[in-house]
Chain A
Amino acid sequence: MMSTHRGRTVRGGAAVAAALSLVLLPACAAGGSSESSDGEIRMMVNLTDNLDQAYWEKLVKPFEDESGLKVKIEGPTGKSVAESFPQQLAAGTAPEVIQSIFPDDDTAPELVDLSDEAWAKDTPMFDDYAMEGAHYAVGVGTQTQSLIYYNKTAFTEAGIAEPPKTWAELDDALGKLKQAGFTPMQTAGDFQTGLQLQQIYHPTLNQEHPKWQAKVAEGELNVGDIYEPAFQLYADWISEGHIAKSDVGLSPSQADGNFIAGKVGLYTNGSWFAATLAQAEDLPFEVGVFSPPTEDGSAYPGPQGATMANPYMIRQGGGDEDGAKQLVEFLVTDPAAIEAQLGSDGVFRQGADVEQSDVEAQIQTILDDAPELVAVGEGQGDVRLPVTGFNPKLTEIAQSLYTGASPADAARAIDQWIGSSS
């Protein structure tokens, strides 16, 4: 009797211990070393369809040959560099060079201030990303965020003479495209839902509320109030069938594919989509690009959302800080490296002598005609929201419009989140 009872207790304890092990072991298994082996610099990059491992290795090869240093290209250990870098910092395994993300209040103390580096001063948008005078990020060019790509053949067949410049004209165009048998506007799930909503709304939002991120941080504006009109636009387009409800389950690459296949009238995206179009080559239609419409009665084109393209940051106290600086200097100043990066992912740079496709030339014109380049999403430099994680949260809330939430619910949800996360 006693032995049976003890057997049960031991079995029960073992089961609980097993339960704890199963929950905890993965957390312990992650990691690696923060110190690089001699002569090796670790660089974490976002790996995408356009920028794959082979692209990055080829990009840094001339630097390796010249400096004798080895560069280890690492993809994010999680979903993205934005997710992986904080995890690796906390675990003490962060690499020396970090590509594709920007500094914020939390990460700034962990990064090298490049303000005194002579080679950094003339890099694009260097001062736009300064935080209280300190410069933690250098980039290669500018990525234009607020663009609408359109199918010129679809426009002709639908009887649309000019790209729309106001929301009313856009509504009209969407209706005509639907009647002509095209998907009026292509959207997608995953990260792209919130991104597209922001992209199409930037020019209007930044005319009505310039530097809105800073005003939210100062308590002068609510994100819910200023985004509710955009939520309303989306809700209307969804209810009118201009945007398919099922898009919320569609991957961004499938959405790209739909536009490339010629089924779609309008597709909101950033300048990097130009690189995807260039890779697609023989399209069955001609692609046009225009700046998103603005509120009736306001100026057109509106301010263009823009971000530093291919930003690089250096971690303080990394294994080889000097080597990391040399690598970043090479990436943002070497003419061949710049040219390779400009051509790879829809990156633009003033004065750059790079051959442009027709679509890229249209984007360059939009960039040149924009009255102002403005911060997007969470913001940049000193124009920033008081929260981290705005883009994923806005995506979640934008997706709720597809699943039946009202614009007012969506506005309330984003304000609640800002309130609890500030």
Chain B
Amino acid sequence: MEPRTSLRLRGWRNAGVSVGMVVPAVLVYVALLVVPVGYAFYYSFTEYNGFPTRVPEFIGLENYQTVFSSDDMTGTMVTTGVIAVIGALVVNLAALGLALLLQKPNRFNTFGRVVMFYPHVLSALVVGFLWQAILGPQGVVNTMLEKVGSDSLPFLSDPNWALWSMIFVIAWALFGVQLILYLAGLQAVSTDLLEAARIDGASRWQTFRSVTWPSLAPTVTAAIITSGISLLKTYDVVVSLTGGGPAGSTKTLAYQILAVSFPERDIGVASAQAVLLILAAAVLAITVLVIRRRAENDAESIG
């Protein structure tokens, strides 16, 4: 009888400890995630200027209709999608390539890793201003081109050039984190497997394709999701590099929310755009996870 009571007490105590440890995290999660998402979702069905003296007026799906019927906003969503997809590809290819080059520990590679991570330490606003000074019509590159008698290039004054310039700049600023992820992932690749491949006479490419790449699968998944989501939220670089121009060609959804809809006091529309951004992030994460599932299975099987 006594041991059973003692067991029950111990069970309650363990449960209490578990609840005590989980509750603060749940509260933080609810306060920082559930409540803001709930508000954004609610406001997205209202007409509201965001000011305390006004009461939000329920208008159903009108804000979503506004978002999808406006060429301006659909153009912004397409631009955001292009930046997220192309940017994620560029960032991850660059980061993986450099990680493979810098994976062996020696002084040069340590220096290289620091240099490559450095852009990420800079504020995104500073990065934008820096590249504005380099790529602008009177920037360093165009001044040098003029000096050698060549025509200047419209890095920031042509809509297509400006978009590609911005993707390049964001990728430059972002890939440091992905580089660290890939370097960590490469450290975890089994040396036994690499040695076995070498003994079997596999070439470098064969070793990469059959051993390194499958082993990196979870890292690739995490790197693509985190970089994709960072790119979806692109705002600061837009502000300082292009200001959304020329002619609105580099406006992202985050820029549209913060620099256009909020100042225009369209809290309902801004919230609808924010909800779409959250959904886009979720869709991106789930899609990448689903696509990468087979690769992760392979990784588990060889690990």
Contact = CB atoms under 8 A, between A and B. Distances in A.
Interface stretch (A16-24, A204-212, A324-332, A355-363): A16-24
Interface string B272-283: 001001100110
Given A16-B286, A86-B50, A396-B244, A249 B136 contact: yes
B229 A23 contact: yes
A387 B263 CA distance: 11
Contact of A189 (B53, B225, B245, B282): B245
A358 to B, nearest CB: 28
A389 B247 contact: no
Contacts of B155: 249
A191 B72 CA distance: 18
Contact of B32 (A25, A250, A389): A25
Contacts of B258: 78, 83, 87
A178 B145 CA distance: 22
Contacts of B277: 23
A90 B56 CA distance: 12
A165 B123 CA distance: 48
B158 interface: yes
Nearest to A90: B50
Given A12-B286, A22-B230, A402 B247 contact: yes
A78 B136 CA distance: 23
B195 interface: no
B136 A254 contact: yes
Contacts, number: 173
Given A89-B52, A388-B264, A389-B264, A250 B137 contact: yes
A71 B229 CA distance: 40
B246 A399 contact: yes
A109 B53 CA distance: 7
A4 B300 contact: yes
B157 A245 contact: yes
Interface in B38-80: 49-54, 66, 70-72
Given A20-B282, A27-B36, A403-B247, A90 B259 contact: no
B81 interface: no
A79 interface: yes
A421 B264 contact: yes
Contacts of B132: 251
Nearest to A27: B36
A4 to B, nearest CB: 7
A21 B265 contact: no
A285 interface: no
A246 B32 contact: no
A191 B245 CA distance: 10
Contacts of B262: 78, 83, 86-87, 90
A41 B165 CA distance: 43
A247 B156 CA distance: 10
A19 B246 contact: no
Interface string A1-43: 0001000100110011111111111111000000000000000
A92 B37 CA distance: 18
A359 to B, nearest CB: 24
Nearest to A416: B71
A230 interface: no
B206 interface: no
B225 A18 contact: yes
A415 interface: no
Contact residues of B: prevailing secondary structure: helix
Interface string A390-422: 001001110110110100000000001100110
A128 interface: no
A20 B265 contact: no
A420 B52 contact: no
B133 to A, nearest CB: 9
A251 B136 contact: yes
Nearest to B262: A87
Interface string B226-252: 100110110000010011111111000
B33 interface: yes
A339 interface: no
B152 interface: yes
Given A16-B286, A21-B33, A190-B243, A106 B51 contact: yes
B245 A248 contact: yes
A33 B293 CA distance: 45
Contacts of A110: 51-53
B100 interface: no
B240 to A, nearest CB: 10
B70 to A, nearest CB: 6
Nearest to A397: B247
A28 B51 contact: no
Given A251-B132, A420-B66, A246 B137 contact: yes
Interface in A61-98: 78-79, 82-83, 86-87, 89-90, 92
A28 B32 contact: yes
A403 B247 CA distance: 7
A22 B33 CA distance: 10
A396 B282 contact: no
Interface in B103-148: 132, 136-138
B52 A23 contact: no
B181 interface: no
A246 B262 CA distance: 30
A110 B50 CA distance: 11
Contacts of A28: 32, 36
B55 to A, nearest CB: 12
9 contacts: A18-B225, A20-B281, A25-B32, A191-B243, A246-B152, A249-B242, A249-B246, A388-B265, A402-B157
Given A87-B262, A193-B245, 20 more contacts: A19-B225, A20-B282, A21-B32, A78-B263, A82-B263, A83-B259, A87-B258, A87-B263, A90-B51, A90-B262, A189-B157, A247-B137, A249-B155, A249-B242, A250-B136, A389-B264, A399-B247, A402-B157, A403-B246, A421-B264
User: 5 closest pairs, A vs B, by CB?
Assistant: A90-B50, A249-B157, A249-B156, A400-B247, A246-B137
Interface of A: 4, 8, 11-12, 15-28, 78-79, 82-83, 86-87, 89-90, 92, 106-107, 109-110, 189-191, 193, 244-251, 254, 258, 387-389, 392, 395-397, 399-400, 402-403, 405, 416-417, 420-421
